[in-house]
Amino acid sequence: MSLVELIAQADERGLAASGLACLDRCLPLLGGDDEVLRPLWAELAGGGGDWGECLEQVRGKLGDAGDSDLGPEASVTDEAALLARRMLDAAPAERSPAEVRVWADACSVAALRIHRLLEGAATDEAGESLADARREGRTEGVSPLVAAELRRQITVLELLAGHGAAGIRPALEVSTEGRRILRAVVSRRTRRRG
């Protein structure tokens, strides 16, 4: 099943987990520590707390999530960080199905774009292949980093669809692996630039 179909069929918890997992994997771009999103994950697993309150705490810990002006000289990492900030900014304070569906879909697209940017894929043809990959559920024709992110997004949605709240822990594990990979990619880019 394609990523677009999985998002269309997901319930509210699956959608929130999907968006949160995308944000979690992109956390190295925001300078947050690995535990900053834990309250949101715990809330999804049914561990109490309020989604909106947890979200405000996360935003406070990650600092001002406002847009910055990216000029033509902005680095790829800066553009990727801006996309990650927008994911955080767009997170709905209420976990209503309609709002989290829009957020999950936007996070999916943003996370794939971030991975494409960091891998250095050509913008025009990569943009078309990303849309096709999301719609058709395939990874052929996309770069390895983007293909791995696409597979992670699909896995998270399948875990939640198949296991409900019990799928949160394995979804977090999938996200943690993706975060480590993205952190390594960002680190390599920084060393090359520095």
Q: What is the pTM of this model?
A: 0.88
Share of the chain above pLDDT 90, in %: 69
Spatial distance between the Cα atoms of 185 and 174, rounded to a whole number of angstroms: 17
Q: Which of 87, 71, 115 is nearest to 24 (CA)?
A: 87
| pLDDT at res. 135 | 72
Across 142-163, average pLDDT: 94
* pLDDT digit string, tens, across residues 86-112: 999 999 999 999 999 999 999 999 999
Across 57-77, average pLDDT: 62
* pLDDT digit string, tens, across residues 39-62: 999 999 986 679 999 999 999 998
| pLDDT at res. 68 | 42
Asked if residue 21 lies in contact with residue 158, where contact means CB atoms within 8 angstroms, the answer is no
* Secondary structure in 3-state letters for 20-38: HHHHHHCHHHCCCCCCCCH
Least confident of 24-33, 67-76, 121-130: 67-76
Reported as half-sphere exposure (CB side, CA atoms, 13 A), residue 127 has a value of 2
Across 61-78, average pLDDT: 56
Asked if residue 117 lies in contact with residue 84, where contact means CB atoms within 8 angstroms, the answer is no
- pLDDT of 4 strictly over 50: yes
State the pLDDT confidence band at 129, using cuts at 50, 70 and 90.
Answer: low
| pLDDT at res. 156 | 97
State the pLDDT confidence band at 190, using cuts at 50, 70 and 90.
Answer: confident
Share of the chain above pLDDT 70, in %: 84
Q: What is the CA radius of gyration of the chain?
A: 16
